[in-house]
Structure 1
Amino acid sequence: MNIRKNVLPRRLVDWLCFLTIGIFLPIIFIFEMVIVLPAFHEPGGFFHTFTLLMGIFLVFNIKGNMIACMMVDTSVNYMHLQPPTEPIELEKWIHCATCDKLAPPRSWHCKSCGVCILKRDHHCLFMGCCIGHYNHRYFLCFIVYLFLGALYALVYNSIYIWILNGAVFSRWLTALKLICPMLMLVSGPFSSNMYLLFYSLNVLALLYPTLLLGYMGPLVLGGRVCHERGKTFKYNYGIWQNLRNIFGQRIFAVWLSPLITSELTHDGINWQTDLPKDAPKNK
């Protein structure tokens, strides 16, 4: 597995989205563990320790899969790429006008990254890189754990703000601040506004992966990428094999840690079409 030479975002919009996760996630995690959690569970008790460890596990997988996704190079390696000699297979390849080379099926050129991406899904603003054949696994693990972490935190935060501190926050002004966050700059004490800011970010952090999972879930199960949505498609190998093409042979173990290696069951280049779902797949 190759590592990208420049893992940092290139565009300003990518940087802004990347810093949103990179900066606010650790800050909100500390806030949850130091302020919110002790309001529910006695420090040192079973539930306090369990929730703390669960939070560490979720943040580790969110940040770990994000970093892995940014580091893994999923571009087309033209130096070691040999187009097929059979005319039928060669017709499936695409000529990239920018690179002036033949690219494998399902590959597209990304203007932001400046390279052709192997089985390109989309360009992710929050990571500043493209999601393709080799880092698709890390991206999906990232959004799943972001969803779980945001949902877990939202339950605690909602009870903390609306029930435990309902006397402070249960008012019309709070609703207006959530709708228009700029009001936090001109009204109310700093501490309560900070809680509302973190709560707003928590809601957004839940909304983002929820929309992505709803949009990408059917595509992943059907073996498609975003570019292939609504188009004639011939690479559906069945749900199980489609998932193994993304998560590899250790399909269950990868959910424990981004550090666990899992060899992919497809090379991302030689995509066979019109295969029966029980036929042997290209490895």
Structure 2
Amino acid sequence: MAATLPLVFDAELNSIRERLNIMKASSHNNNVWGATYNTRNNVTTDAGAGFEQTLTGMTVGIDSRNDIPEGIATLGAFMGYSHSHIGFDRGGHGSVGSYSLGGYASWEHESGFYLDGIVKLNRFESNVAGKMSSGGAANGSYRSNGLGGHIETGMRFTDGNWNLTPYASLTGFTADNPEYHLSNGMESKSVDTRSIYRELGATLSYNMRLGNGMEVEPWLKAAVRKEFVDDNRVKVNNDGNFVSDLSGRRGIYQAGIKASFSSTLSGHLGVGYSHGAGVESPWNAVAGVNWSF
């Protein structure tokens, strides 16, 4: 179960990252926004404890954009909830309910250079309904806390209606994992679960104004991510350590569109696929709406 927490954090973080990306070059000062998302992860670990995770969540937030010398500064806050259903390859299932809150800041220079930062806190409620090799069941639950941050920098190049934004980012996450007991007497204890990864990528977009006056901007994104942590360990019944290693490179491919329906209402849709480092995400979908005032 510990291996699911970085994936939960990352899916939730993606909704905030997309929020920061779609408001680049926006002229509105104050905004209230919301996003809902759904993600599927098929995970294979060296410990042989593979699983499938389906996550659905929602994030809501508020932010303010203000002119500063030679640029724009943005400050915002958000809160959210997600629920994951997990099916274990060896049988049984589990779930993770995640409550999150945090803040973000962005600085955009008039040259196109930008710097984004996000901090997020999590409270996880995990439930396990395992299936033993003998056919019996083993149930348990526990709670844990998580903390993570993300920093991203890039440059937005504009040529007519075309925009190209190469970027680099670094993300870190840690969660405590208390010892917990299953109903059949088994004990499980994990060291703190950690994730540190860098990401290099680029987004290409095109601005269009339709005949009815609505503005739309379709976009494509490709990136390569490298996870550095390879020693997240779990001890069962003091019989030794099982290592959950999801380190390595992962390719990320996304497409989406944002649209301005009126001077105060806008929305966006995005879909994605990623594969590598023991994780395949056949889909990652997000839809959001923004009201400006």
Larger radius of gyration: 1
Higher percent of residues as strand: 2
TM-score under structure 1 normalisation?
Answer: 0.25
TM-score under structure 2 normalisation?
Answer: 0.24
Higher percent of residues as helix: 1
User: Which structure ranks higher in relative contact order (CA pairs < 8 Å, sequence separation ≥ 6)?
Assistant: 1
